[in-house]
Amino acid sequence: MMVVLSSRHRHAPSSGRTTRGCFGRLALLGLHGSALFVPAMAHAQSTTTLIQPVISPDYGRDRNVSVLERQHPDFAPLGYRLGNWILNPSLTVSPGVTNNVYNDNDNRQSDAFVIVEPNLRVSSDWAVHRLILEATGDLRRYAQASVRNQNGWKIDASGRLDVSQDLSIEASGTVGRRFESPFSDDVINNTTNVSSYLQTLANVKASYSVGRTRVVGAVDRSSYTFNSVTFADRPARDQRSRDRTMNRLTGIIDYALSPSLSMYGQIVLDRNEYDALIANGQANRDSTGYMFVGGVNFDLAGLMRGSIGTGYSRRDYKSEIYPDASGLSVQAKVEFFPTPLTTVGFTAQRQIQDAGLGGAGAYLDNRATMRVDHELLENLVLTLDGDVARRSYEELDQRTDVISVGAAARFQMTRGLSFGGNIRYGSSTPNGNNLGNAFDEFRAIVSVRIRR
């Protein structure tokens, strides 16, 4: 569970002349007393990439409220008040079944499992500024395939300093043990244990608004340390060659054409430095890169909101072994509001990622997602979603195609008790050498969450 810290809410007046009218703020999930429902999707096959953007264009102007953002005071957790602090503990227990526990169609085995997720969150309740501390566990136990057990955890700290009405500074840090899914990054799928890594992340972001213009800048540093993986039919693989540190600078400038429409430009500069050579002594994928993206973001009351941008990316590798990579970049997220009780969302992205398989330097990651959330009752949300992704290793003329579809429900019985469930089918189809084997998987999960 990730906490995303938003800056102050600014309600847009009818005039587009003021800063408040130009740039509202999203009411993001995870803040105390905000969105009530988080469908039980986190246990399903993930299709996100290892490297995520630290800043995204801000299209929220408080003109629309999605199903997951809508506040329900009668069902919101109360927490424990400790002076100017609020303590929110929770525990989620999710038993489930899978029909392909090893992600191996030639040796398909079903298994049952249980996921236990304790969570403790402490947040400030100040008139200005904000500080949040959160610790989360992700413990997974299988009935038969004990080698697939996972002991994941994450500690987050984030804060916001409100320097003035127009200037805010945010900082956050994360450290945790995460486990990879072959549905997300280019990791080998038919391993006996699950590939995992220790991640540390720190970033600082400043946002300044004046008139119709908003400028956001951020600097972040992240590091990844991978564990070895084992196979049933070959020796274990050391993954030290994947250990890396990334330093990145990101900047966005928005200009509001109206209270509902803005143009923006974004630039990202980064440097990747690997800790070790490839296993055979070959040079690793140390590189520098940049991305330029321009587009529009909008928030049309009762209709839609979103951000659509296109641009150009390039990655230059230090070693001549790996060809430099470049190409079109796309980042888009649009939400439609056909009724106040239904939200339909679309996302699309195209970006360059460092390869971990096939001997390539980079691959083009193309993916699109559709999601529908419907509030059947005030305390019952239904969700349908689908993802498609293609990882293209163009220098090798190889690719991997991934598809994932699912359905979920979340019933909030009381402030402190909720039930959920989801079913999901996913498939991964590599087309090339050293990319792993094709496989598919069906999972079904039910969950019980208690919280305060």
Mean pLDDT value across residues 364-378: 96
Residue 410, CA distances (Å) to 88, 115, 415 in order:
19, 17, 13
DSSP 182: T
The Cα 154–Cα 441 span in angstroms is 27
The Cα 129–Cα 175 span in angstroms is 23
Residue 26 confidence (pLDDT): 36
Residue 55 confidence (pLDDT): 61
Tell me: pLDDT of 177 over 70. Answer: yes
Mean pLDDT taken over the chain: 87
Tell me: pLDDT of 184 over 80. Answer: no
Selection from 416, 308, 331, 335 nearest residue 67 by Cα: 335
Selection from 31, 9, 56, 298 nearest residue 165 by Cα: 9
Percent pLDDT > 90 in the chain is 71
Select the more confidently predicted residue: 103 or 54.
Answer: 103
Mean pLDDT value across residues 122-140: 97
Tell me: pLDDT of 303 over 80. Answer: yes
Quote the tokens at residue 122.
């402490």
Selection from 282, 365, 352 nearest residue 315 by Cα: 352
Mean pLDDT value across residues 199-225: 96
Quote the tokens at residue 307.
């951000």
Q: For residue 88, what are the β-bridge partners?
A: 121
Contact 228, 206 (CB under 8 A): no
DSSP 254: E
Select the more confidently predicted residue: 51 or 290.
Answer: 290
Mean pLDDT value across residues 399-423: 97
Cβ partners under 8 Å of residue 354, min gap 6: 244, 272, 285, 287, 315, 361, 362
Mean pLDDT value across residues 315-338: 94
| Cα three-residue angle 448-450-452, rounded to 5 degrees | 160
Which residue is listed with tokens 């990202």? 268
Least confident of 26-35, 38-47, 203-212, 365-374: 26-35
Taken in order 90, 156, 65, 16, the sign of the CA dihedral is: positive
Residue 230 confidence (pLDDT): 80
Phi and psi, residue 254, nearest 5° = -110, 145
Selection from 262, 261, 301 nearest residue 63 by Cα: 301
Contact 372, 357 (CB under 8 A): no
Architecture of domain 19-451: Beta Barrel (2.40)
Residue 57 confidence (pLDDT): 66
Mean pLDDT value across residues 64-75: 94
Residue 189 confidence (pLDDT): 67
| Cα three-residue angle 278-187-360, rounded to 5 degrees | 50
Contact 329, 295 (CB under 8 A): no
> Alpha helices of 307-398 — where are they, by DSSP H?
none
The Cα 31–Cα 132 span in angstroms is 9
The dihedral region occupied by 30, where left means phi > 0, alpha psi between -120 and 50, and beta the remainder, is left
Mean pLDDT value across residues 372-397: 94
Cβ-defined contacts of 79-83 (< 8 Å, 24+): 79/32, 79/452, 80/452, 81/125
Residue 4 confidence (pLDDT): 33
Tens digit of pLDDT for each residue in 19-31? 333 444 333 333 3
What are the sequence ranges of the domains in the chain?
Answer: 19-451
Q: Where in 38-191 does DSSP place strands (E)?
A: 80-82, 85-98, 111-124, 130-142, 150-162, 167-179
DSSP 185: S
Tens digit of pLDDT for each residue in 239-264? 889 999 999 999 999 999 999 999 99
Residue 182 confidence (pLDDT): 75
Residue 287 confidence (pLDDT): 96
Select the more confidently predicted residue: 420 or 35.
Answer: 420
DSSP 280: T
Phi and psi, residue 311, nearest 5° = -175, -150
Quote the tokens at residue 196.
């995992």
Select the more confidently predicted residue: 318 or 47.
Answer: 318
Contact 121, 3 (CB under 8 A): yes
Q: Where in 378-438 does DSSP place strands (E)?
A: 380-393, 398-412, 417-431
Residue 381 confidence (pLDDT): 98
Confidence of residue 54 (pLDDT cuts 50, 70, 90): low
Contact 158, 3 (CB under 8 A): yes
Tell me: pLDDT of 267 over 80. Answer: yes
The Cα 199–Cα 243 span in angstroms is 10
Residue 6 confidence (pLDDT): 32
Q: How many CB atoms lie within 10 A of CB 297?
A: 26
Which residue is listed with tokens 């994928």? 285
Selection from 418, 446, 445 nearest residue 90 by Cα: 418
Provide the pairing of β-strand 261-274 with 439-451.
unpaired
